[in-house]
Structure 1
Amino acid sequence: MVSLVRLLFVFFLVLFWNASNSLAQRTTPRYVNLSHLNHLYQSVQLKTSGIDVGTIAIYSEAPDYHLVTDADEGFTCIDDVARAGLFLLGEPDIDMNQDKQTKLRTMVEFVLQLQAPDQEAGAGYFYNFLWPDRTINKTFRTSVAEPNFWSWRAMWLLTEAKPYYQKREAELADRIQAATQKLVANMLRDYGSQPKTYQVVKGVRVPGWLPFGSGTDQAAIMLLSLNTIYQQHPTLDLLKLIDALGEGILSMQHGDKNRFPYGAILSFENNWHAYASDQSYALLRVGKALNRPEWVAAARREIDHFYPYLLRQGFLESFEVRSTKKGMEPVRTSRFSQIAYGIRPMIWASLEAYEQTKKPEYAELAGKLASWFLGNNVAKAIMYDVATGRGYDGIGATGKVNYNSGAESTIESLWAFQRLEQYPEAINALKKYN
């Protein structure tokens, strides 16, 4: 009898602890605030098909944050809708929040509807922009269906969304699978058998088989998506393409702890730019999944040596390098503009390094990098407003803040804090710097 009483006591104690812990998690204030993202969101009906899709306005201008259309491009694009969809997929309450589920569903539909059909040029790739009259922009250079950022971001969302919908909406999962297969077929055709050739730019040897020859920024997004597909349906052709992309990225890494550019992975030719620098994050994720220790080591080399260098510089926007007898040296360096899209990739990579190693210095680094958003920057200005959910569009050359709050800046800011919230150690580090 005594044992039964003790057992019941322990049982109810565990129940109480779980309930209290759950309540604490629900009531802990979040850095993530979807208010402005919801302001940017709109469900519209495509003119050609009559299908409802979810859109994210590309521009929102201060001080009233009205939505703005670009005359050449349109009012919304896959680049931003796909990122917003990926953000929603990562929300901790996505399985319970009907509003987020509805928005995600319409965003996935947007992406599917913008894939070029078989009879059109660029079939299997994706158009990017939508005009205000709800027709697809098929002609402007940043919107044509081609192997470019927006096609890779479309694939990123679709590959992550497919497992989510397999048990919830099988018909949609099948459509995602069909769209992805078309795109992968294009990728295998266009990149799967590229010869491993190099060219030399200002003495720097760069690969010729990545997007636009040496685009490691785009190759990183491709790696993430292709690895997701490979984990579900492994094929030799897919693995060869993944390995080729990884090899190309590694060939663009230069320097080490003591030599400039301190392990940085160049973005394109002899250039490095902060935006879209997801190479280390991709190498860590895919390197771990495929047992490529050299990929993981390369990523950690950039995180360990180049990220601290950027912090010491007060961050950089871009630089060019040339190769000399003494090694790599910069020939042009730009400090501005500084944008959320240049900070978030480093936070993700640092957190992934922490996830894989549990070394506290990586959580510390992620928190310090994230403090840029909350005022620890050259302008001493808030770049992500927790109260409104606005991510501001950047810090200019004079240290002046652009207080417009478009889709890219908002989503990249939300992405940074969504990931940080999963690691209390990084949040504690963040608080030290603000």
Structure 2
Amino acid sequence: MGFRLHKPGAVGLPLPKSLPACGEGLERLPFLRVRGKGSGDRGKFALAVLIVGAWLLTMSSTAAQDDSMRDGLINLDHLLFLTEPVTFGDQDVAIVHIYSEFPEYEWVDAAGEGIAAVDDVARAALVYVAYYEQTGDTRALDQARLCLDFVRYMQTEDGWFHNFVTDAEGTINIEGRTSYKTLTGWWAMRGLWSLAEGYRIFADVDPAYAADLQAAYLLTESALTGEVLHSYGTYSQLHGFTIPAWIPGGAADVSGVMLLALTSYYRANPNPDTQALIEHVASGISEYVLGDSATYPFGMHPVTTNAPGYWHAWGSHMVHALAEAGAALNRQDWIDSAAYEAETFMMRQLAFERIREMGILPRRLGQISYGTDMLVQGYMALYRATGEEKYAIYGGLAASWFFGNNMAGVPVYDPETGRSFDGIEGPAEWRVNRNAGAESTIEALLALLVVQDDPIAAKYLDYREVDVRPYVRVEAESGTPVEGQPDFRERDWTGEAYFSFAKYYSLGAGDVLEIPFEIPEAGVYWLYVAHQRQAIASEETTLVATRAPSPPAIDGSLDEWADVPVFSANTERQFLRGAGLWRGPDVDSFDVQLMWDDDNLYVAIAVRDPVHEQPQIGPSVWSYDALWGYIDGDGRGQRLSAKFTLAQTPDGPQVWD
């Protein structure tokens, strides 16, 4: 069998098979039938699982009789090993060592970044406070306090955060690409979440310390109010999708963590300011859901407004956050939005297979604990918000990944040591990454803390998949050009997603590519042609470079450029992505002029921006006001000839490649 693809260009072909519909209940155990949300038979999925043992159910729920911090499946030994008390000046804090490598599992630091980061220490604090909340073990509060004090140490006077310390004396990495000062970045929002949860727990056991945490939390929340509350009700268009433009920074994934922080604090201290932020953030995320169970991108909340259809497994807490916020503010529409993804896009991962990310095609290799925790937290938050037992079942099934219900068939979490492996790179035992770093261990513990004591979810932790009808993927590069001039290209990242195997065909008008493939068995199939659409330019844009009579002075004055043609970027249509964040030509626009001689290309750029913000130096300048330049020397759009970043920094002008 074969088929033909016509323009605009296929980059791969997934063929998810339509699974037969079946009952919603558990009448046919040992088989569980899972039904997804959708329209008619197209919205149904089936998942077969089988109980293979009862060892999990016979474990004691009481703490182990030794000095360990254990409670049933939860074992904090490895996290405690990674957590090191240190002193920064006169402040006692804890750092959490980032990596721990097989087979010795000693500490390993992040080369070039530092020895500990808010990213990990803040989430370790979440584990310790959750463990205390479940067990009453005050030793966990002691660890949480040290971790929270590290987070406070990394907070700047204006409520922003750095990420890494480079040594045990507390030297902050202020220049690294993973440690620059940020208000709305990953480590800032994880830090804020830990402060909110810490305040909620310590308010009852140590009000004075809780007040310190509250002050730190409010410092960041007040900064967010000035940074986030704008553009409400405006939208941008990309690839035919209408996208809310008020999601902070266009990043729904990071905004999901922000929403978790805001909701946690609001539950402990209801107030109108926090509520306003919650409503702003949650409304944007809840509206940004695309597709359905049968239509790409299958009901997901994409992680960024710059790439509708892109999702990744490290930090996509949108379902989790919407369910929590909806329950806290009694917003059924937010809960419904969370449930929509949970019963479509997330259900595909239970019915077919976990994925690392989804863009043009699903990528299954590189499965991580973080991605599984995200699924577990989302389903369990929906269970708490709705009371519907199916979500607890799905949460337990998602967590069974930790105990061997994964493509490698290998338990990833070990209750005897408290370690969680760093990932699964393929469907074989030898493809398991047996290192056990901080993030993997923390995310496994966070997931298991919400399912272990739930009588419904816990029953499904030792289920195993016994049969699945997987999708079939056919690569476009296996095809044969038969008409026109299909252009074979190699490229990994598109700016929105990854091409499978870094290869693809570009098809223009009249181009035809013939791709044969085998049908593995008789049945009904859904056929998807995975492609990246390219907008047709409505007009040509030409930048004219004139020959320079002499090398211009690089002094900030444009007097010598008076006769050079000007190209102005000052309209919304000129933005490829993120146009919904544009605030008008007086705030966001620039003019470009070009001259050349035999040795150089000279560029003059006049930028309009009311406030220049560039506190960084070195490679982190990209995160603030800077100019990025990309040059394609051959004009084919396949690879860059050069790229550079220009920034006016505290140390003067800097250029970075």
Matched, 1:266 2:317: no
> Secondary structure of 1:139's partner?
coil
Check whether the contact 1:95–1:101 (CA below 8 A) recurs between aligned residues.
no
Partners of 1:92 and 1:238 in 2: CA distance: 26
Alpha-carbon shift at residue 42 of structure 1 (Å)? 0.2
Alpha-carbon shift at residue 150 of structure 1 (Å)? 0.9
Match of 1:326 in 2: none
Matched, 1:252 2:288: yes
Check whether the contact 1:393–1:405 (CA below 8 A) recurs between aligned residues.
yes
> Secondary structure of 2:343's partner?
helix
- Residue of structure 2 aligned with 1:340, choices 323, 347, 369: 369
Check whether the contact 1:128–1:137 (CA below 8 A) recurs between aligned residues.
yes
Higher-strand-fraction structure: 2
> Secondary structure of 1:64's partner?
coil
- Residue of structure 2 aligned with 1:425, choices 415, 440, 456: 456
Aligned residue runs from structure 1 range 16-165, under 5 A: 25-26=61-62, 30-46=72-88, 49-92=89-132, 96-117=136-157, 123-134=158-169, 135-146=171-182, 147-165=184-202
Check whether the contact 1:41–1:55 (CA below 8 A) recurs between aligned residues.
yes
Alpha-carbon shift at residue 98 of structure 1 (Å)? 4.1
Letter in 1 for 2:317: D
Partners of 1:341 and 1:371 in 2: CA distance: 14
Partners of 1:361 and 1:93 in 2: CA distance: 25
Check whether the contact 2:86–2:168 (CA below 8 A) recurs between aligned residues.
no
TM-superposition CA deviations, 1:115-152 (whole Å, max 9, x none): 112xxxxx311111111242111221211221211111
Aligned residue runs from structure 1 range 265-414, under 5 A: 265-268=301-304, 269-270=307-308, 271-320=310-359, 331-397=360-426, 399=428, 400-414=431-445
TM-superposition CA deviations, 1:87-120 (whole Å, max 9, x none): 1111156775343222111111111111112xxx
Check whether the contact 1:88–1:94 (CA below 8 A) recurs between aligned residues.
no
Check whether the contact 1:265–1:279 (CA below 8 A) recurs between aligned residues.
yes
Partners of 1:96 and 1:285 in 2: CA distance: 23
> Secondary structure of 2:216's partner?
helix
> Secondary structure of 1:205's partner?
strand
Q: Which moved more, 1:289-298 or 1:300-309?
A: 300-309
Identical counterparts, % of pairs:
33
> Secondary structure of 1:410's partner?
helix
Check whether the contact 1:274–1:316 (CA below 8 A) recurs between aligned residues.
yes
* Change over 3 Å in CA distance of 1:281–1:51 after alignment to 2: same
Alpha-carbon shift at residue 196 of structure 1 (Å)? 4.1
> Secondary structure of 1:366's partner?
helix
* Change over 3 Å in CA distance of 1:129–1:353 after alignment to 2: same
Letter in 2 for 1:315: R
Alpha-carbon shift at residue 37 of structure 1 (Å)? 0.6
Alpha-carbon shift at residue 39 of structure 1 (Å)? 1.1
- Residue of structure 1 aligned with 2:239, choices 194, 202, 225: 202
Partners of 1:227 and 1:103 in 2: CA distance: 23
Check whether the contact 1:124–1:179 (CA below 8 A) recurs between aligned residues.
yes
Match of 1:18 in 2: none
> Secondary structure of 2:361's partner?
strand
Partners of 2:434 and 2:105 in 1: CA distance: 9
> Secondary structure of 1:433's partner?
strand
Partners of 2:450 and 2:376 in 1: CA distance: 8
Alpha-carbon shift at residue 388 of structure 1 (Å)? 1.0
Check whether the contact 1:363–1:429 (CA below 8 A) recurs between aligned residues.
no
Check whether the contact 2:237–2:243 (CA below 8 A) recurs between aligned residues.
yes
Partners of 1:95 and 1:385 in 2: CA distance: 20
Letter in 2 for 1:345: M
Higher-helix-fraction structure: 1
Check whether the contact 2:132–2:141 (CA below 8 A) recurs between aligned residues.
no
> Secondary structure of 2:176's partner?
coil
> Secondary structure of 2:365's partner?
coil
- Which structure 2 residue ranges, 5 or more long, are not aligned? 1-59, 65-70, 466-657
Letter in 2 for 1:394: G
Partners of 1:166 and 1:194 in 2: CA distance: 35
Higher relative contact order (CA 8 A, sep 6+): 2
Alpha-carbon shift at residue 242 of structure 1 (Å)? 1.6
Q: Which moved more, 1:97-106 or 1:293-302?
A: 97-106
Q: What's the TM-score once normalised by structure 1's chain length? A: 0.85
- Residue of structure 2 aligned with 1:166, choices 195, 198, 203: 203
* Change over 3 Å in CA distance of 1:93–1:277 after alignment to 2: closer
Check whether the contact 2:396–2:459 (CA below 8 A) recurs between aligned residues.
yes
Partners of 2:159 and 2:382 in 1: CA distance: 34
* Change over 3 Å in CA distance of 1:196–1:390 after alignment to 2: same
* Change over 3 Å in CA distance of 1:374–1:207 after alignment to 2: same
Alpha-carbon shift at residue 358 of structure 1 (Å)? 3.4
Matched, 1:416 2:457: no
Aligned residue runs from structure 1 range 170-249, under 5 A: 170-213=207-250, 215-249=251-285
* Change over 3 Å in CA distance of 1:305–1:70 after alignment to 2: same
Partners of 2:214 and 2:415 in 1: CA distance: 37
TM-superposition CA deviations, 1:370-403 (whole Å, max 9, x none): 1111111111111111221111111115751111
Check whether the contact 2:87–2:168 (CA below 8 A) recurs between aligned residues.
no
Partners of 1:66 and 1:333 in 2: CA distance: 34
> Secondary structure of 1:179's partner?
helix
Alpha-carbon shift at residue 62 of structure 1 (Å)? 0.8
Alpha-carbon shift at residue 252 of structure 1 (Å)? 1.9
Alpha-carbon shift at residue 298 of structure 1 (Å)? 1.0
Count the aligned residue pairs: 394
Letter in 2 for 1:424: P
Partners of 2:187 and 2:223 in 1: CA distance: 14
Letter in 1 for 2:350: L
Partners of 1:183 and 1:61 in 2: CA distance: 35
Match of 1:4 in 2: none
Q: CA RMSD in A?
A: 2.2
* Change over 3 Å in CA distance of 1:54–1:259 after alignment to 2: same
Partners of 1:144 and 1:367 in 2: CA distance: 38
Partners of 2:139 and 2:270 in 1: CA distance: 35
Q: Which moved more, 1:397-406 or 1:163-172?
A: 163-172
Check whether the contact 2:322–2:334 (CA below 8 A) recurs between aligned residues.
yes
* Change over 3 Å in CA distance of 1:92–1:239 after alignment to 2: closer
